[in-house]
Amino acid sequence: MRLAILFLTGLFTLADARAAEVDQAAALETLQDEDSLLIDVRSAEEFADGALPGAINLEHDRIAERIASVAPDKDRPLVLYCRSGRRSSFAQDKLQALGYSRVINAGGYDDLLPLLERGE
């Protein structure tokens, strides 16, 4: 029983660590590609309150159903962000499971906005 609990605890720890992985440098570089698509995976309300320039809104819990309408090419570079990077990580996993090969988790809106404004 203890082994099972330790195993499950380890799995949840790994899942949390994975959800926190962000690559802002790769995201900023990818956004230089004219073909890239910047996707805000927050709620429609959060998006309406402020979004990064050029971003479209596909909520993370519906991204699998809606992605083909905006990105039918599974090799198109996709840059995802949310508030903290957690929802964009979940969306990244979903898109990769669907066969999208160039998906980057850029992290959170508040962290990215100043970087984009400075042109980094």
Active site residues per annotation: 82
C-alpha span between 34 and 67 (Å, rounded): 18
Burial class (CB in 10 A: 0-12, 13-18, 19+), 93: middle
Q: Under a CB-based contact definition with an 8 Å cutoff, are residues 104 and 85 in contact? A: no
